[in-house]
């Protein structure tokens, strides 16, 4: 568990500050295997989670979706046989906010808690 996992997402406004380079560096150290990417000029964080079969990937994806809905912050999800790719960024600010790192941490917890 890390400092992000138990935090709650806050409502984000279009004028909310993006995460600073220092914050991104600090949070990324707490999220092994997550990749910082830039798509169309927008910083995002992404990770591919692997599974032994399709239904396990579906189950994981559904749990991420339920958590996202409860937090009011939603990822891009690509579901394929044996894997689920989760990408977080904040649409309103077209970049990264602490909410994205909080949700990445919660996503990790879901994956690591699979029975």
pTM for the complete prediction? 0.93
- Inside any domain, residue 48: yes
CATH number of the domain residue 35 falls in: 3.30.1360.20
- Inside any domain, residue 71: yes
* pLDDT at residue number 11: 66
**End-to-end CA gap in the chain:** 17
- Inside any domain, residue 4: no
Domain span at 59: 21-112
Tell me the HSE value of 115 on the side-chain side, using a 13 A CA sphere.
2
- Inside any domain, residue 8: no
pLDDT surpassing 90 at residue 99: yes
- Inside any domain, residue 88: yes
**Count of structural domains, the chain:** 1
- Inside any domain, residue 15: no
**Residues 4-57: tens digit of each pLDDT:** 767 676 767 788 889 999 999 999 999 999 999 999 999 999 999 999 999 999
DSSP string covering 51-95, please? -SSHHHHHHHHHHHHHHHHHHT---EEEEETTEEEEEE-BGGGTB
- Inside any domain, residue 40: yes
Task: Name residues whose C-beta falls within 8 Å of residue 63's C-beta, 6 or more positions apart in sequence.
Answer: 110
Q: Please tell me the distance from the alpha carbon of residue 12 to that of residue 73, in angstroms, as a whole number.
A: 9
């Amino acid at each position: 568990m890390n400092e992000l996992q138990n935090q709650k997402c806050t409502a984000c406004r279009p004028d909310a500050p993006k995460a600073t380079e220092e914050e991104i560096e600090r949070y990324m150290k707490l999220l092994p295997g997550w990749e910082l990417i830039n798509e169309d000029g927008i910083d995002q964080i992404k990770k591919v989670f692997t599974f032994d079969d399709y239904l396990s990937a579906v189950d994981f994806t559904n749990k991420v979706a339920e958590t996202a809905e409860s937090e009011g912050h939603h990822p891009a999800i690509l579901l394929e046989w044996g894997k689920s790719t989760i990408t977080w960024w904040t649409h309103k600010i077209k970049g990264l906010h602490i909410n994205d790192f909080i949700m990445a941490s919660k996503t990790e917890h879901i994956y690591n808690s699979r029975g």
